[in-house]
A and B are shown apart, each in its own frame.
Chain A
Amino acid sequence: MDAAWGYGFLGGLMIGSAAAIYLLVNGRIMGASGIVGELVDRSGRETAAERLVFLAALIGVPWAIAAAAGGAETHLTGNWAVIVAAGLLVGLGTRLANGCTSGHGVCGISRLSPRGIVATVLYVLAGGVTMAFCRHWLGGI
């Protein structure tokens, strides 16, 4: 048993509670890629205020907590090519698939949605294969 697992579970309960509030009160799916993506493609124009307020809190609150706690570390790679390629793939992929870890993962699996379950299996598998290939075959990332 690792303390990080306990923090993981606690943080997970918070993430799920946030999604439950967004569903039961606002009637919406708390999917990060959809909330941003439908602002980007402007299909979410009519609910733009709700999305922007959500995003402001999503960015601002962890920022404030991290600042109060003396900083947090993301350990993101310093390789700019990898950062840009990864960002492009995440943005393109989540819009094609209509969801990411929060939408398909948290909200989809808990609804026993076949699309959410298939998407989650595929992105975890693709992530695992990519990691094995890059880290253990190429020796990088």
Chain B
Amino acid sequence: MRLVFAALAGAIFGAGLLVSGMTDTVKVQGWLDVFGDWDPTLAFVMGGAILPMALAWRVAARRERQGAGPVLGGAYPARSTLGITRDLAIGSVLFGMGWALAGLCPGPAMASLGYGGAGGLVFLLAMVAGMVVAPAVRARLRAGTAG
């Protein structure tokens, strides 16, 4: 059952990314291009996505108070206790730079893999490579703080 609902979520997520236009890099770059021909579409996507999710968090909180967890068992994801860290800030800035350069973030990069051509595949491979080196970079950042 977990797999069925994971597939359902992935399917609706992917279809939503395509319908919203977020797998079109021109729309994403247009949103970030404040000094050019600014495209507000991404704000409508974000607003539309946050509405059902805000409701879902309320339902989760209510169920938790009643001693119930997710439908298929287990517990709801705990809030991170990390707070605002240097890794969060540096990582978000690096991510934003890459997001602007290509107009792709991880979700759309995968959703468009089937029709994104060789460029889309190369982006995804480079993204995975970036994920592979991330632990080493994180360790270096830690060492830098200590020294």
Contacts and interface: CB of A to CB of B under 8 A. Distances in A.
Contacts of B120: 74, 76
A21 B60 CA distance: 11
Interface size bucket, B side? 35 or more
A62 B49 contact: no
B51 to A, nearest CB: 6
Nearest to A81: B101
A4 B119 CA distance: 25
B10 A61 contact: yes
A65 B131 CA distance: 29
B107 A62 contact: no
B25 A74 contact: yes
B72 A76 contact: no
Interface size bucket, A side? 35 or more
Interface string A1-37: 0101111111111111111111111111110110011
A131 to B, nearest CB: 4
Contacts of A25: 5, 9, 70-72
Interface in B52-81: 52-57, 59-60, 69-77, 79-80
A8 B55 CA distance: 19
A22 B49 contact: no
Interface in A85-141: 85-98, 100-102, 104-107, 109-111, 113-115, 118-120, 122-128, 130-132, 134-136, 141
Interface of A: 2, 4-30, 32-33, 36-37, 40-41, 49-51, 53-67, 71-78, 80, 82-98, 100-102, 104-107, 109-111, 113-115, 118-120, 122-128, 130-132, 134-136, 141
